[in-house]
Amino acid sequence: MLYKDFFDDLGEVALGSRLKRLSDRVMQDASRTYKYSGYDMQPKWFTLMSLLAEKKEVSINQAALYLGQTQPFISQNSKEMFKAGLVDFNADPDDARRKIMKLSKQGRKKFKQMHKLRESVRLAAESICEETEQNFYQALKQFEKALERKSLFERTLENYNG
């Protein structure tokens, strides 16, 4: 028996759940891709690893700001990446309580080795985005900007309170 996707019936009210489902699917594919290619990597590390490759050194707070993610999320990922030998930490010379992270020698080597895979993923993701009626990535960026102007919470309260 074929089932109709119930999210279609719910529409925009289930947007968060639908985006989570989409995110889970993309992360599963990324995990399968890493495994197939022989890389011991977690998909959730990719953005932080890329940021460190670009910026060389950042604090956990800076990484959270650059990536728009929470400090606890960045801290947890960086600890996992440290255990995997991909990240090193140094004390901030201006504030010993603050840690500065950078890719380890092994992390830099792995990032460089993954160039072909990253390029292949980029091309695949672009093809999926372009396959939609509107470029999905561009629409997603516009959606995020709309949330920055006024959050879902604020918009909901406006409607709820009349």
26 pLDDT band, cuts 50/70/90, is: very high
Q: What is the pLDDT of residues 45-63, one digit of tens each?
A: 999 999 999 999 999 999 9
Give the domain 40-104 fold.
Answer: Arc Repressor Mutant, subunit A (1.10.10)
- Residue spans of the domains in the chain: they are 40-104
The two structure tokens encoding residue 50: 């890329």
CA 35 – CA 48 distance, rounded (Å): 19
Q: Which pLDDT does position 8 carry in this prediction?
A: 86
Q: Give the integer Cα–Cα distance in Å for 159 and 154.
A: 9
Averaged over 100-105, what is the pLDDT? 96
pLDDT at residue 55 in the model: 97
Query: Which pTM was predicted?
Result: 0.84
